[in-house]
Structure 1
Amino acid sequence: MTKKILLLLAAALLSLAGQLSAQSRLTTTPQIPDGEFVRPVSADATGPDAWHPQAWDRQLPPVDDAQRSAFTRSVENGLAFIQVPAADTAAWGWVSPRVTLDAVLRKGFRVSVAISATADYAGNYPWAFVAWSRSSAYLNRTAFATITPPVTPAGERGIWREFFLDIPASAIPSTATHFTLNLASHRQPGGGAPAGALRYATVTLEPPGGAPPVANGTRIRSPFVKRAVNTPAGTYFTYPHSNGFWRSDPAWDANTIVVGRESEGSNVLSLVEFDPATGNHRAVGASENTNMFYSITRDGRALASTKRGNNSLVLLDLTGRQPDRVLMTAPAGTQISHGADILEDGSKAVFALWNWGAKEFKLQEIDVATGSVTTCMTASWTINHAHYHPFDPGWISLCNEVGNDPIRPMDRIWAWHATLAPQGKRVFDPVDAQGRPIYITHERAMYHKLGVIADVISPSPGEPRGLYEVGYDGTRRVIAEGKGYQHCNISRDGRWAVADVVNQDDRVTMETVLINFKTGKKEILYAGRATKHPWHAHPHISPDGKWVILNDSSLLRAVALEIDPARLEAFLK
């Protein structure tokens, strides 16, 4: 993920000289190698291309010293990190490979790093800085401000928080040619006996201030948004019809979310619990060769499917109390759909099973306790996006992913019920009043009534385009008209919705829009970018309506928007 973030850095900085078009591509960029620590870090590694231990105004402990073993790389639930024991005198830590100061970096940049402290960390303080050099000759350094890392209670999983160092062009020495990042622990004068350790993870380089420019210069577009909180580097939120709200600790905010991170270096999907109120986060689950989207039960079990080659449905226990489970493996010649859903109580899960060779596609349920699989319906078209209807879980929302009728190319929205629609039923006739085909997509079951909300996208010949309400009885209503609608979601009380909409002026900016469900009135909340999965904006509304969560590809992070309840209430009247 570091490489992607650094490509973003280069693109954003060069855009300062002119607006960057959607087709722009940069092939070279500076980077800190192994910023995710996905390769083993050796305490004996040396040279310009490896992280290595370093001491300041003292000697590193001898090889047989017990403290030396703490200079290690460790992995917890997919999060790789390096450790630094508390120093008994002066300071010691890790030094990154040297990074060349090219023309892009000379315009300024941000360094971010996640930091955690063990419960017994004492007698020291975190010391992180950028050291400037001319070739290999040290010049000076620029240090992070005071760092107060979160403390991890003994026996619990690490609690992390990101810290940032913004370096403007004016702070870079004119004679410097390189820099290194130094992550250390420094003895605290009069601070008591040294104990415990620091941990550092997920080093990234980003544009100045952490964000490249967007049209009109600001991401937050509405006074409805009290603040925007970014999730950890490289993390994204799940699909709109999947649940990603869950917390393991009642002391954390009620709207704590679980975000995913796909590691390029290790082919692992990591799940990270994130508290938007504090910025604290912890790694709670990991699975190799696993698809990007996940759905979480009330008690903290995450359902996901693995990729081809070992295609299975897996259940990860994010509490750590039970081992992860493989619920089923796809029979030979078949594939489990990329997304699956699980009931809030975790009793049953639903998914599609694809047999491309036989052109046979099944909607299936699995009993989580017994592993018994039931086929609900079979079709000759691609069943996908199956999810339980939260208003009545006896209904399952699903779609025809690729329409097979040339006259109705987006014959998409379907529903299934064991007795009321045992063969499934199409709930939206995809033609307008003039007989033109309507391209409707990205349906999401509503919480307050039977039916879905969905988007009619801009290429649709049929009109009107925009956000629709579609009932399981075949009724339809245009909630809000407009071009560029992509994905949508709805509040638990059904009073408001959110959608990601492509700005029609620049066709690059992705706006997250709040919509009054009754009147269709709109308010633009946020402007970012969206690229391929998992970086579609995919907006969500928290269960209590206090936060809107979305993805921003220009940040390569998810963003939590805290919503002003008074302004929202006035908007909905």
Structure 2
Amino acid sequence: MTLLLAGAHLPYPHTNGFHAEGERLVLTRYSPATGALGLTSVRWRDEERAARPLYEPEPSTTGPEQLLWPDVALAAERVAWVWNGAVHVLDLDSGAPERLYTAAPGHTLQNLCSLTASGDRVVVMEQPEDREAPVTCLEISVSTGKADELFGKGWFANHPAHSPHDESWLTFAHEGPAREIPDRIWARHPTRAPEGRCVFEQAVDGATLAVGHERWMFHDLGAVVCAYGESEAGPRGLYTVHPDGRAARLVSEGERDWHCDISRDGRWAVVDTSGPHDATGRGWQNAGQVSDIVLVDVATGARTPLARTAADRHPRHPHPVFTPDGTAVLHNHGDPSTGEVAVARVSVPRAVP
């Protein structure tokens, strides 16, 4: 494991942080004393990081622990984020941040947003300041700042993301206690599912799979998702799900899977764990504050441990992600005793068949 940058954390794992043809990565600089310090761009591959500051936010109005989660367009040098109830965008070539949209009076914006591949539109969830339903999904034009309502939900909808395989599909989640939510994973299409529909049947023989942290694929229309160790039903572990009628598939059993990612060619997945991957028990049983980074062969389900780190609260969740070329996995490496966090890199073993 190689430390990439101390005092920083990765974007949320279902978003994109890579730019400059995959050679650079947008990170959030972070201090446990003050929260988010801004955005910076680094070279992830070289020993010479060549860090380039991008954005320093105005003071937070919601407390020191407000988090800053950027999303980078897959095919354009543009990044978007939410801060202090407003969507901001930045052209990574010109370096000029712009406040694009501010929440309506009495409302706030969730802190996760999603840019289209071309960077021309950004989607965000708007909700009352008291966090009660309804939640409205907005699509905002980057060129005009005009916001259009895509749909609304009477429950806590969040984690909006464009499918990188087919961005006419917008994905989102029904958030809440995982064991109590039977319809976590949703997808919306302007004609096939204009109000969205649940795409994973979690009921199994009268019990429920507790699932979450879905990551939509690059090579296919669908997502990888973790069925947590706390699930009443089984088998638990890593699944693939699809919005087009294909059945969900268990990729690899695991009693502690927490977050996940998939390589852009679909060959490999990676999970972090709620506790040591080889400890007795499941979920958070006997977990301590340990999380392992584990490589998964999507075809066979075989698992290869890559690294060990800590399990702690945001932004010190490990959140492993593949580099665009699939040669490495990046993850957050936190210190629960100090609250500090760094971004770490571990190579994907070439010896793995």
TM-score where L is the length of structure 2: 0.87
The structure-2 alpha-carbon separation of the partners of 1:353 and 1:520, relative to structure 1 and needing over 3 Å to count, comes to same
Letter in 1 for 2:43: D
C-alpha separation in 1, matches of 2:91 and 2:328: 25
C-alpha separation in 2, matches of 1:395 and 1:373: 18
For 1:418, the equivalent position in structure 2 comes to 190
Which whole-Å deviations, capped at 9, do the CAs of 1:141-188 have from their partners, x for residues lacking one?
Answer: xxxxxxxxxxxxxxxxxxxxxxxxxxxxxxxxxxxxxxxxxxxxxxxx
Q: How far off its partner does 1:464 sit?
A: 0.9
Check if 1:560 corresponds to 2:334: no
Q: How far off its partner does 1:440 sit?
A: 0.7
Q: How far off its partner does 1:524 sit?
A: 0.5
For 1:379, the equivalent position in structure 2 comes to 153
C-alpha separation in 1, matches of 2:132 and 2:31: 34
For 1:292, the equivalent position in structure 2 comes to 68
For 1:98, the equivalent position in structure 2 comes to none
C-alpha separation in 2, matches of 1:438 and 1:315: 37
Check if 1:278 corresponds to 2:47: yes
C-alpha separation in 2, matches of 1:322 and 1:550: 26
% of aligned pairs identical?
Answer: 29
C-alpha separation in 1, matches of 2:36 and 2:304: 38
C-alpha separation in 2, matches of 1:234 and 1:450: 35
C-alpha separation in 2, matches of 1:265 and 1:515: 36
Check if 1:337 corresponds to 2:110: yes
For 1:304, the equivalent position in structure 2 comes to 81
Letter in 1 for 2:72: I
The structure-2 alpha-carbon separation of the partners of 1:465 and 1:266, relative to structure 1 and needing over 3 Å to count, comes to closer
Matched-pair contact (CA < 8 Å) for 2:5–2:344: no
1:483 aligned to which of 240, 244, 255:
255
Letter in 2 for 1:258: V
Q: How far off its partner does 1:460 sit?
A: 1.0
Q: How far off its partner does 1:382 sit?
A: 0.8
Check if 1:519 corresponds to 2:317: no
Matched-pair contact (CA < 8 Å) for 2:219–2:264: yes
SS in 1 for 2:299: coil
Matched-pair contact (CA < 8 Å) for 1:428–1:474: no
Letter in 1 for 2:83: T
Matched-pair contact (CA < 8 Å) for 2:175–2:181: no
Structure 1 unaligned blocks of 5 or more: 1-227
TM-score where L is the length of structure 1: 0.55
Check if 1:534 corresponds to 2:305: no
Check if 1:471 corresponds to 2:239: no
Letter in 2 for 1:556: V
C-alpha separation in 1, matches of 2:230 and 2:343: 27
Q: Which has the higher contact order (CA 8 A, sep 6+)?
A: 2
For 1:269, the equivalent position in structure 2 comes to 37
Matched-pair contact (CA < 8 Å) for 1:496–1:514: yes
Check if 1:314 corresponds to 2:82: no
Which whole-Å deviations, capped at 9, do the CAs of 1:38-69 have from their partners, x for residues lacking one?
Answer: xxxxxxxxxxxxxxxxxxxxxxxxxxxxxxxx
Letter in 2 for 1:292: L
The structure-2 alpha-carbon separation of the partners of 1:367 and 1:462, relative to structure 1 and needing over 3 Å to count, comes to same
For 1:105, the equivalent position in structure 2 comes to none
SS in 2 for 1:480: strand
Say how many residue pairs are matched: 329
C-alpha separation in 2, matches of 1:447 and 1:525: 23
Structure 2 unaligned blocks of 5 or more: 61-65, 281-285
Matched-pair contact (CA < 8 Å) for 1:443–1:452: yes
Q: How far off its partner does 1:357 sit?
A: 6.7
Q: How far off its partner does 1:403 sit?
A: 6.6
Within 5 A, what are the aligned runs for 1:323-472? 323-355=96-128, 356=130, 359-402=133-176, 409-432=181-204, 434-472=205-243
C-alpha separation in 2, matches of 1:517 and 1:266: 40
SS in 1 for 2:351: helix
Matched-pair contact (CA < 8 Å) for 1:511–1:524: yes
The structure-2 alpha-carbon separation of the partners of 1:268 and 1:536, relative to structure 1 and needing over 3 Å to count, comes to closer
C-alpha separation in 2, matches of 1:467 and 1:357: 30
The structure-2 alpha-carbon separation of the partners of 1:456 and 1:516, relative to structure 1 and needing over 3 Å to count, comes to same
Matched-pair contact (CA < 8 Å) for 1:446–1:452: yes
Letter in 2 for 1:467: L
Matched-pair contact (CA < 8 Å) for 2:213–2:225: yes
The structure-2 alpha-carbon separation of the partners of 1:403 and 1:414, relative to structure 1 and needing over 3 Å to count, comes to farther
Q: How far off its partner does 1:324 sit?
A: 1.1
Letter in 1 for 2:318: A
C-alpha separation in 1, matches of 2:79 and 2:315: 17
C-alpha separation in 1, matches of 2:54 and 2:77: 10
